[in-house]
C-alpha cells in the first residue's frame, strides 16, 4: 500500500522537475544573459561594493583689474570674444590638478596611494584593481577616475571633486589640491612679475653703467686737457680780450690825438709801448681760444661730444627707471589670485555607489543586449528557413 501510494508522488515530482527543466532550457539564454548579471549586480552593489565619499570645492581666479569697468563698447566686445580675465589661468590650474605633478605631490604629502588602497574597500574599487598593478602609471589612471577637475560653464567656477573611501581622506585630498592650486597661481604670478621686472631692471643696469662711463670719460677729458668747462672758459677769455681791445682802442685814440697836438711829447713812446703790450695780450688771449692745437676751440668739439653722450646716457637712464616703475605697476595690475568660493567639505554620508540605480542599469543593459541578440538570431533563422 505504501509503495503504491509513493509511486504517484515520485512520478509527480519527476514530472515537475521535467517541467522546470524544460522551462529552464527554453529560457536558458535569458537566464544567463539577463537574470544572472542582475543577480551578480544585486550581490555586488547590495553586499560587496564599498561606500564612496565625495568632497567638493569651487574656486575662481580673478585679477585686480576685473573690478574696473569697461570704458567702451569695443572693449566689451573684445572681452567677450576671447577668454575672460582669469579663465586661461583657471584652465592652467585645472590642467595641473589633473597632472602627474599634482599626483606626485599628493603621494608625497598625504599618502594618496595608501588612501586609495584602503583595506576596507572592496577588491574591485580599491587600488590596485584586479587588472592593474601597483605602478605610478596605473595609479595615475586610477587617480583620473577618482579626481574630477573641470570648469562649470554655467557659473564660470572651477570645480574639484574628489572620491575616496572615507570622508576624511576625500577632504584631505581636496584641501591639498586646493592648496597646490593656490601655490601654482602664486608661482605663475611670481614668474610673470620676475620676467617683466627683470628685463626692465636689466635695462636700468645697462643705462646706469653707460651713464657712469660717460661721466668718467668726461672727467678724464677735463683732467687731460686741463679744462673744466671750455665754453665758460672761452667766454671768460673772450671777455678779457674784449676788455683789452677796448682799452687799446682808447689808448690808440689818445696816441693819435697827442701826435696831432703835441708831436714832440716825451710820453709818446711810453704810450706806444703800452699799446704794443696790450696788443700782445690780446693776441695771447685770442690764441688761447683759437689759432692753435692747444686752443680752447680745438678742445671744444671733443668736450661737446662727451657732454652729448652724457646727456643721452642720463636720458636713457631716466627712461629705463620710468619703464621699471611701469613694469612694476603692470606686474601688480596683472596679478591673479585664487578666490575660494566653496571650501572643501567633509561629507557626512557616502554618495556612491548608487546601488539601486546601478542594479537597474545592469538589468536594463543586459535586457537590451538580450533582445538585440534574440532579434539577430531570429533574423538569421528566418533567412535560413527561406533558403
Give the position of cell 579626481. Answer: 147
Quote the DSSP letter at residue 346: -
Give me the sign of the Cα torsion angle 255, 260, 261, 264: positive
- Determine whether 293 is exposed, middle or buried from the number of CB atoms within 10 Å of its CB (0-12, 13-18, 19+): exposed
Q: Is there a contact between 162 and 147 (Cβ–Cβ < 8 Å)?
A: yes
pTM over cut 0.75: no
Residue 84, C-beta contacts closer than 8 angstroms, at least 6 positions apart: 156
The answer to whether the CB of 86 falls within 8 A of the CB of 336 is yes
Q: What is the dihedral of CA 336, 341, 346, 350, to 10 degrees?
A: -110
> Taking the CB of residue 181, how many other CB atoms lie within 10 A of it?
25
pLDDT at 381: 79
C-alpha to C-alpha distances, 358 to 40, 116, 127, 263, 366, nearest whole angstrom: 12, 22, 21, 142, 12
Mean pLDDT by 10 residues, the chain (387 residues): 51 62 76 92 93 96 61 42 64 95 95 92 91 93 96 92 96 96 90 79 88 82 65 61 77 78 77 79 62 55 74 88 82 82 94 93 94 88 68
Query: Which of 87, 71, 41, 132 minimizes the C-alpha distance to 365?
Result: 41
Predicted local distance difference test score (pLDDT) of residue 188 = 85
Residue written as cell 585630498? 173
Residue 351 near residue 234, CB atoms below 8 Å: no
Q: What was the pLDDT predicted at 73? A: 43
Say if CB 164 and CB 79 are below 8 A apart: no
C-alpha 9/C-alpha 2 separation (Å) is 11
- Under a CB-based contact definition with an 8 Å cutoff, are residues 367 and 34 in contact? yes
Alpha-carbon gap, residue 208 to 162, rounded angstroms: 54
Cell 693819435, residue?
Answer: 256
Amino acid at each position: 500500500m505504501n509503495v503504491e501510494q509513493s509511486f504517484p508522488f515520485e512520478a509527480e515530482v519527476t514530472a515537475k522537475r521535467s517541467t522546470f527543466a524544460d522551462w529552464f532550457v527554453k529560457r536558458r539564454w535569458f537566464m544567463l544573459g539577463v537574470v544572472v548579471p542582475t543577480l551578480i549586480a544585486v550581490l555586488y552593489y547590495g553586499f560587496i561594493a564599498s561606500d564612496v565619499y565625495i568632497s567638493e570645492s569651487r574656486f575662481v581666479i580673478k585679477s585686480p583689474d576685473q573690478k574696473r569697468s569697461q570704458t567702451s563698447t569695443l572693449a566689451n566686445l573684445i572681452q567677450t570674444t576671447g577668454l575672460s580675465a582669469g579663465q586661461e589661468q583657471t584652465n592652467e590650474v585645472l590642467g595641473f590638478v589633473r597632472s602627474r605633478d599634482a599626483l606626485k605631490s599628493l603621494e608625497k604629502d598625504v599618502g594618496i596611494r595608501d588612501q586609495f588602497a584602503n583595506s576596507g574597500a572592496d577588491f574591485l574599487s580599491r587600488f590596485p584593481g584586479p587588472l592593474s598593478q601597483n605602478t605610478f602609471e596605473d595609479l595615475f589612471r586610477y587617480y583620473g577616475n577618482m579626481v574630477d577637475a573641470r570648469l562649470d560653464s554655467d557659473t564660470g567656477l572651477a570645480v574639484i571633486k574628489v572620491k575616496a573611501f572615507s570622508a576624511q581622506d576625500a577632504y584631505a585630498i581636496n584641501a591639498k589640491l586646493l592648496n597646490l592650486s593656490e601655490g601654482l597661481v602664486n608661482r605663475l604670478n611670481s614668474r610673470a612679475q620676475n620676467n617683466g621686472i627683470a628685463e626692465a631692471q636689466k635695462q636700468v643696469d645697462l643705462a646706469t653703467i653707460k651713464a657712469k662711463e660717460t661721466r668718467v670719460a668726461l672727467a678724464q677729458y677735463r683732467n687731460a686737457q686741463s679744462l673744466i668747462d671750455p665754453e665758460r672758459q672761452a667766454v671768460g677769455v673772450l671777455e678779457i680780450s674784449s676788455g683789452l681791445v677796448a682799452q687799446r682802442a682808447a689808448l690808440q685814440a689818445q696816441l693819435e690825438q697827442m701826435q696831432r697836438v703835441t708831436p714832440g711829447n716825451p710820453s709818446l713812446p711810453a704810450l706806444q709801448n703800452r699799446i704794443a703790450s696790450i696788443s700782445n695780450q690780446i693776441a695771447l688771449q685770442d690764441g688761447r681760444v683759437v689759432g692753435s692745437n692747444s686752443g680752447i676751440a680745438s678742445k671744444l668739439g671733443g668736450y661737446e661730444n662727451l657732454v652729448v653722450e652724457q646727456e643721452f646716457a642720463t636720458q636713457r637712464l631716466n627712461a629705463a627707471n620710468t619703464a621699471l616703475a611701469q613694469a612694476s605697476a603692470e606686474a601688480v595690475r596683472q596679478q591673479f589670485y585664487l578666490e575660494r568660493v566653496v571650501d572643501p567639505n567633509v561629507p557626512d554620508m557616502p554618495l556612491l555607489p548608487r546601488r539601486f540605480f546601478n542594479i537597474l542599469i545592469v538589468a536594463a543593459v543586459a535586457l537590451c543586449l538580450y533582445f538585440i541578440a534574440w532579434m539577430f538570431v531570429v533574423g538569421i533563422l528566418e533567412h535560413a528557413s527561406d533558403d
